[in-house]
Amino acid sequence: MQDIIISENLQQELTNAINQVSPDRLFVLVDDTTERLCLPLISGFNSIMGKDADGKALPRGSAHVISIKSTDAAKTIGTLEQVWQSLGENGATRHSLLINLGGGMVTDLGGFAASTFKRGIAFINIPTTLLAMVDASVGGKTGVNFRGLKNEIGVFHDANSVIISTAFLQTLDAQNIRSGYAEMLKHGLISSDDDTAELLGFDIYNVDYSLLSTLVAKSIAVKERIVTEDPHERGLRKALNLGHTVGHAFESLALSTGRPVLHGYAVAWGLVCELYLSATRCGFPAQRLHQIEHFVAETYGRFPLDCKQYDQVYELMTHDKKNIAGNINLTLLSEPGKVLINQTASKDDLFEMLDYYREN
């Protein structure tokens, strides 16, 4: 299992994590945005500059920075090849270390690059977005998009360390805070009604970063507990897919039409859809559904969906990796904290769900 560190001293914790690997060469993967906003927060650290705590030069020298384009549109095999090429041209060996400094796209793609280069090199994730902190960087999932489908190619491979520093949260705009918060809401829903209520009561418009840090730690603990029990998604880990079967379809549809949306926004819209199915089929409380529906509409707006696109949404759902024997596989709830995995729905059920989403 990966070592998940809720950081209090980023410089010391990163130095310790690097020293545990003792790499011959050090690389840092960033995107256009994190190179500008986040790399300066660590670029002066002795461990990044190739020095020990006393400032003495280390044999590995300073870190080599690999910069890729930002946004999920860059999460492709072409970008992956670019990272492999940069590693190879700059002397990476099986004993090198890659630090992924960025959001979920960087940690997913960087983790996959590290997992496959020379059959696997060590890597550390330093998530810089709220979404990556509570979702992408924890749990060992890596991958890239392929043929218009989210995370179609990838492997399970744990980072050596994941360092969560909420100092990066203040580099985020409101949209990216809200995107990550959708995954936190999902964690609350699969955890308990009290956790759900706490998250619904948070003032997302006037962020209290101290309180947000506390909620982030709780959210990570929910995911870590589930991943520890089921690292390869054989059973319980499917709870984390709540909102994602429909959400990924919305995300892929938006990408295919040239209007990409943030992952967390798609998950928030997917939560409303899948909680509707939970209410009609599994007894999920209607009052809580309406509260979440209101919160999502106020915070994330609405996904622009036309009934003529239902077949396309359905087709995208048929490609979901969770599906079994051709059946669309859903995670539903009977109430917050009561998870029902491996639920299926007919095409008519799903179209009724989409009708509800469009009309409410």
Are the CB atoms for 94 and 119 separated by under 8 Å?
yes
> Among 241, 251, 274, 329, which one carries the catalytic annotation?
241
Number of Cβ atoms within 10 Å of the Cβ of 320: 19
Of 64, 248, 288, 322, which is the active-site residue?
Answer: 248
Q: Is the pLDDT of residue 202 over 90?
A: yes
Judge if pTM exceeds 0.75.
yes
Residue 151: HSE in the Cβ half-sphere, 13 Å Cα cutoff: 24
Annotated catalytic, 274? no
Domain coordinates in residue numbering, the chain: 3-171, 174-206+229-359
Q: Is 218 a catalytic residue?
A: no
Q: Does domain 174-206+229-359 have CATH number 3.40.50.720?
A: no
Our answer to whether residue 263 is catalytic in this structure is yes
pLDDT tens, residue by residue, 290-346: 999 999 999 999 999 999 999 999 999 998 877 877 789 999 999 999 999 999 999
Bridge-based pairing state of the strands 122-127 and 144-146: unpaired
- Active-site residue 241, yes or no? yes
- Reply yes or no on whether the pLDDT at 110 is more than 90: yes
To the query of whether residue 151 is one of the catalytic residues in this protein, the response is: no
Q: Does the annotation count 13 as an active-site position? A: no
Active-site position among 35, 183, 251, 274: 183
- Range 63-93 burial, b when 16+ CB lie within 10 A, else e: bbbbbbebebebbbeebbebbbebbeeeebe
* pLDDT score of 71: 86
Query: Active site includes 233?
Result: yes
Per annotation, catalytic residue among 263, 274, 322, 329: 263
Query: Of 51-60, 102-111, 134-143, 201-210, which range is least confident?
Result: 51-60
Q: Which of 119, 234, 259, 308 is catalytic?
A: 119
Per-residue pLDDT at 232: 77
Q: What pLDDT does 54 receive? A: 73
pLDDT at 93 over 90: yes
Burial tier of 131 (Cβ tally within 10 Å: 0-12, 13-18, 19+): buried
Quick: pLDDT tens for 226-256: 988 888 778 888 999 999 999 999 999 998 8
Residue 223 annotated as catalytic: yes
- Of the listed 64, 178, 186, 237, which one is catalytic? 237
Residue 148 pLDDT > 90? no
Q: Which long-range contacts (CB under 8 A, 24 or more apart) does 319-324 make?
A: 319/149, 319/152, 320/245, 320/248, 320/249, 321/151, 321/152, 322/233, 322/238, 322/241, 322/245
Residue 319 is among the residues annotated as catalytic for this protein: no
What mean pLDDT do residues 77-82 have?
A: 98
Q: Is the pLDDT of residue 217 over 80?
A: yes
∠ at Cα 40 (36, 46), nearest 5°? 150
- Active-site residue identified among 35, 233, 251, 274: 233
The verdict on whether 237 is a catalytic residue reads yes
Do the first three CATH levels of 3-171 and 174-206+229-359 match, i.e. the same topology? no
Q: Say what percent of the chain tops pLDDT 90.
A: 77
CATH class of 3-171: alpha beta
**Average pLDDT over every residue of 173-200:** 97
Catalytic residue among 25, 187, 244, 288: 244
Q: Which of 64, 187, 223, 288 is catalytic?
A: 223
State the pLDDT at residue 53.
67
What is the rounded average pLDDT of the residues 56-83?
89
Question: What pLDDT shows up at residue 58?
Answer: 67
Comparing 244 with 139, the larger pLDDT belongs to 244
Beta partners for residue 322, in sequence order: none
Residue range 33-57, pLDDT digits in tens: 999 999 999 988 888 988 766 777 7
